[in-house]
Amino acid sequence: MSTVNTVTEQLTAAGQAIEHDSFAIIDAEAGPHAYTAGQWPIVRRMIHANADFEFNGLTAFHPDAVQAGMAAVLRGGTPVVADVEMICSGLSRPRLAHFGMATHQFISDADVIAQAQADNTTRAVQAMRKAHRLGLLQGAIVGIGNAPTALIELVRLIVEDGVRPALVVGMPVGFVSAAESKDLMAQIADVPWIVIRGRKGGSTLVVAALHALLALAEAQQRTEGA
């Protein structure tokens, strides 16, 4: 019987070998860490995405983040709402399709742009509001890798409007409000989150974290089906 996932793995034996060797190198070089067995594969894949070992320590997890994220994936049909198209483009369609999942982003929609201009806000703020109006945020996995204002608005929607995503992967990169937006998210107790402390982040890291979560979900699915 195969010891690897069949959907969330590389598609060739050579690709699998390179990925697994990379993970082994990361494990060896990272050494001891404070992450749980469920959290470490997510951090490890983030390190794998950009060869930056600082994410071993900068990445923070709500206590329920991994289990809540896996449950949302395994439930099937859970929407993934992103702040930018880059996240939607980076996520593997076959991997998402295996769990009946689809991505959504509204950053370039004409109505979003017009409302941002009218309200003197950012497109990212209006895109989160549109996702809320469409009912997509409730029970969703939300990935934010580019726009701190999107994460700040999501926190507002959680606090003021009672929005309850299944999981927030909040990793906006930048120098204006990026660190602060993640600190705000990390203060939320009743919505699970994964954040990167400080200025570092980016859409690539959100994609890596979500791919790791999909792999964890598939592994559990295979175990339960064995």
Tell me which residues are annotated as active site: 48
**Contact status, residue 157 vs residue 128, Cβ threshold 8 Å:** yes
Contact status, residue 138 vs residue 169, Cβ threshold 8 Å: no
Using DSSP's 3-state secondary structure scheme, residue 13 falls into helix
Distance between CA atoms of residues 85 and 196, nearest Å? 20
**Please, is 163 exposed, middle or buried when counting C-beta atoms within 10 Å of its C-beta (0-12, 13-18, 19+)?**
buried
**In terms of Cα–Cα distance, which of 180, 184, 140 is closest to 163?**
140
C-alpha to C-alpha distance for 179 and 33, rounded to whole angstroms: 23
How far does CA 102 lie from the centroid of its chain? 14
Q: Are 150 and 125 in contact (CB under 8 A)?
A: yes
Separation CA 192–CA 138 (nearest Å): 13
Q: Show the tokens assigned to 169.
A: 């992967």
Among candidate residues 69, 38, 46, the one with its CA nearest the CA of residue 171: 46
